[in-house]
Structures are given as C-alpha cells and as structure tokens.
Amino acid sequence: MSKKVAIIMGSDSDFPVMKNTAQRLKNWGIEIEVHVMSAHRTPERACEFATKAQENGFGVIIAAAGKAAHLGGVLAAHTTLPVIGVPIKSSTMDGLDSLLSTVQMPSGIPVATVALDGADNAAILATQILALSDEKLAQTLVSFKEEMVSGVIKKDEALQLEVEKL
C-alpha cells in the first residue's frame, strides 16, 4: 500500500491555493489528509502530528503557510519524512517573507521549497518521492510528462500556423 500525503496549512485561507494540490494527488490515487495547524498558534499540535506522521502511514508532508511561514520548518524539525514547503503569497512584501521563511532553513532541517503558491509542483514532487517505491505512481508520472510534451508540441504547431499567416 502506498504512503499517504499530508497537506498541512497554517490557515484555512491557504486552501484556495492548496486545493489544486489535493485534487491532483487524489486524481493520481494518492490518499491524503488535509489539516490546518499553525506553527505559532498550535505548535504542540503541529509537533505531535509531525512526530507521529510516519507511524500513521504518511510518506511526505506538504506544508503551506504565508507571512511568517515557519510551519514547514516546525514540521521538519519533528520528523524524518520529506517536508515540502509551499510559501503562500500574501499582501505583505508580495510573499517574499513567506518564501524566505520557508526556504532559509538551518542545516539538518531541510524543507524542499517550491515557488510562491507552487501548489501544483508540491503535488508533483510529493508524487515523485512516493514513486521511488511505487511503480504505479512512477508510470503515472511518465504519462503526465508525456502529456506535457504533447501539449507543448501542439501549442508550437498552432503557433507556427499563426506565424505563417503573418
């Protein structure tokens, strides 16, 4: 049985961004759990979740937070599972504070960080991690990449037709 992916958000206001992560993972047959936990308001709850995540069947944790986005780091400090950070773009500093809070981790506590609001890449990266030990997921990723190639080729063909009309 494949491992689960946890999607932990610092606030329910992060869900509109993270909904795509949840949807992609579910579409690919990956079991998920989605929770709100705050590194600052519910630190004990976040620490307990991370500490027990592996024994509860998780293989990857995705942490999404904005502003002082310490959630990924707090979770990573309490687990040996891979933690993927999704800095959420906020009105403050256009999300730069979230990005730096997520990516600038001390040695020994890594958080693999995707782009601001990079929910889709978080889902893909989590799937790539799980696919290391799940051939079905590995094939799902191969198909996904092939579809991307096909899509780019079709767009190029359409562009060439437009250019010919000039």
Q: What are 55-68's pLDDT values in tens digits?
A: 999 999 999 999 99
Quick one: what percent of the chain has pLDDT higher than 90? 96
In 3D space, the residue among 97, 148, 100 whose CA is nearest the CA of residue 124 turns out to be 148
The number of beta carbons lying within 10 Å of the beta carbon of residue 157 is 9
Q: Which fold has domain 4-133?
A: Rossmann fold (3.40.50)
Domains of the chain by residue range: 4-133, 136-166
Contacts (Cβ under 8 Å, ≥6 apart) of 132: 138
More confident residue, 93 or 158: 158
**What six digits make up the tokens of 109?**
């506590």
pTM score of the predicted model: 0.95
Whether the pLDDT of residue 1 is over 70: the answer is no
